[in-house]
Amino acid sequence: MTEAQARSSSSLKAIASQCQPAETINAIEPLGNGNVNETFLVQLNGNNQANFVLQRLNTAVFSKPELVMQNLLALSDHVDQKLSEGIPQLNGRRWELPRPLKWADGQQDWLEENGNFWRAITFIDNANCLEVLQDLQQAREVGFGLGMFHLLISDLPATALADTLEGFHITPNYLAEYQQVLKHSQLIASADAEWCIKFIQQRQALAAVLEAAKARGELQLRPIHGDPKINNLMLDAESGQAIALIDLDTVKPGLVHYDIGDCLRSGCNPLGEETTNLAAVHFDLQLCEAILEGYLSVARGFLNEADHHYLYDAIRLIPFELGLRFFSDYLNGSVYFRSDFPNHNLQRALVQFKLTESIEAQEQEIRAILERLRGSQP
Ligand code: GN1
Ligand code: MG
C-alpha cells in the first residue's frame, strides 16, 4: 500500500475495523501535525469515550516498530503503578497516559498489513495541544507537565526500555552525517543554503558539549521523553492544566537536557517552528522563565550541580541540532521529515538557526534566569 492509498478513507476504515467493529466507526480524520508518523482520530458512534488514535508508524525512521510497542507497554505499566501509589505533586490533578489498544482477537498490540505497521492508542479527550504558547500560565503548565513526566519515569529501569532510535539527539553523529551529505548534495548553491553551511561551520565545536559531559561521567542517562515539543503536551480543556505527554515513541534512556532543550526551543519560539517570517524569529525570555519555573517546581529535586551547569548549553544546543537535522534532510532530498513543499526543510532549518542566534545573543539573560530559579525554592 502506498502512503496515498493508506490515507484513503475506505482503506483506513478497513484497518480501523480490525480494532473496532466497522459499524461502530463514524469517521476517521487526520490528527495533529507530526512530522514522522501518520496519525488519525477514529470517532465512534455516540461514544466519545471510546474514540481512539490510529497511527501508521514510519518504519523508515523506527526500523524496529515492535520495540517501540514494547517500550510503550512497559511505560504504561510503570506509570499506572506509580499513579496508583499516588503522586503528591499531582495534588488531585488529572494525569493520563496514551495506552496501546488490542487488535483483532484481543491478543495483538499492533497490526502489520501489506508492509505497514499500524497501532491503536487511547485518545485523551477534553484536552488540547498547542502549536504556540499564548501566555505565561500555559508556559508554566508545559514546564510542569515535562517535570511530572520525568518524575513518573525517573525510576523506570533503563533495562526495561529498548533503544528505539539509535543516535537520537547525539549531536556529533548528526554533524558527521551532515558532513557526508554535504559532499554529495546538489542543493547547496542557494544563498540560504550557503548561509546555513557557514552557520554550522562556525558552531561545530559546540556540537559535542553534552556528549562530552556524558562521556566524562558528569551527566547521567535517565529515561526521557525525547520529543517534548509543546504540541506533544496536552492541557485540560477546562482547567488549562497539563495532563499528559503524548507521542511516546522516543521514550528511552537519554539526558534530561535533550528534553529541556527541546521543550524550550519549541515553547519559547512565539512564531512557531513553521513560520516564514525569519527576521522576526526570537527566543522569548519570559516564556523561558515560566517554563523553567513550572519544570523546576516538580524536578528541582532530581537535578544535581552538573545538571544545572549544562542547562544553558542544552538550551542553545537542541535548536542548533534540530536545524542541523532539518538542513541535512533538505540536502538529502527530504526523506526523514515529512515536507509539504520543496524547500520546507530548508525553511525549518533557517527558523531553528535564527532561534539559536537569538539564544546566543541573550546568553547572559538566560544564565541569569537559570541562576535565579536555581536559588528559589518551590
Ligand atoms: C519530529 O514526529 P514529531 O513531529 O513529533 C522529530 C523530533 C523533532 C520534531 C520537529 C522521531 O517529531 O525529533 O524535534 O519532528 N521526531 C523524530 O518538529 O525524529
Ligand atoms: Mg514524534
82 shares its domain with 161: no
> What number does the ligand 1 atom closest to the CA of 34 have?
4
Phi/psi of residue 114, nearest 5 degrees:
45, 45
Distance 103 CA to ligand 1 centre (A): 27
Residue 14 half-sphere exposure, CB side, CA atoms within 13 Å?
A: 11
Segments forming the whole domain that contains residue 257? 128-375
pLDDT of residue 2: 46
Cell of 340: 509539504
pLDDT, mean over the chain: 94
Last residue of a domain, one of 93, 123, 153: 123
Domain end marker among 123, 147, 167: 123
Q: Which residue has the higher pLDDT, 1 or 356?
A: 356
CATH classification of the domain holding 46? 3.30.200.20
Cα 313 to Cα 258: distance, rounded to the nearest angstrom: 10
pLDDT of 276-302, one tens digit each? Answer: 999 999 999 999 999 999 999 999 888
Ligand 1 binding pocket (C-beta < 6 A) is: 34-36, 61, 227, 229, 232, 247, 250, 262, 273, 322
Protein residues within 5 Å, CB atom, of ion ligand 2: 227, 247
What proportions of the chain, in percent to the nearest 5, are helix, strand and coil? 50, 10, 35
Question: Does one domain contain both 28 and 147?
Answer: no
Atom of ligand 1 nearest to the CA of 336: 19
Q: How confident is the model at residue 50 (pLDDT cuts 50, 70, 90)?
A: confident
Which CATH number goes with the domain that contains 357?
3.90.1200.10
Q: What residue ranges in the chain does DSSP mark as E strands?
A: 25-30, 38-44, 52-56, 111-113, 116-122, 127-128, 222-224, 233-236, 242-245, 252-254
Encode pLDDT of 160-207 as tens digits: 899 999 999 999 999 999 999 999 999 888 999 999 999 999 999 999
Higher pLDDT, 3 or 317: 317
Say how many Å lie between the CA of residue 95 and the centre of ligand 2.
20
Measured by CA distance, the residue closest to atom 12 of ligand 1 is 35
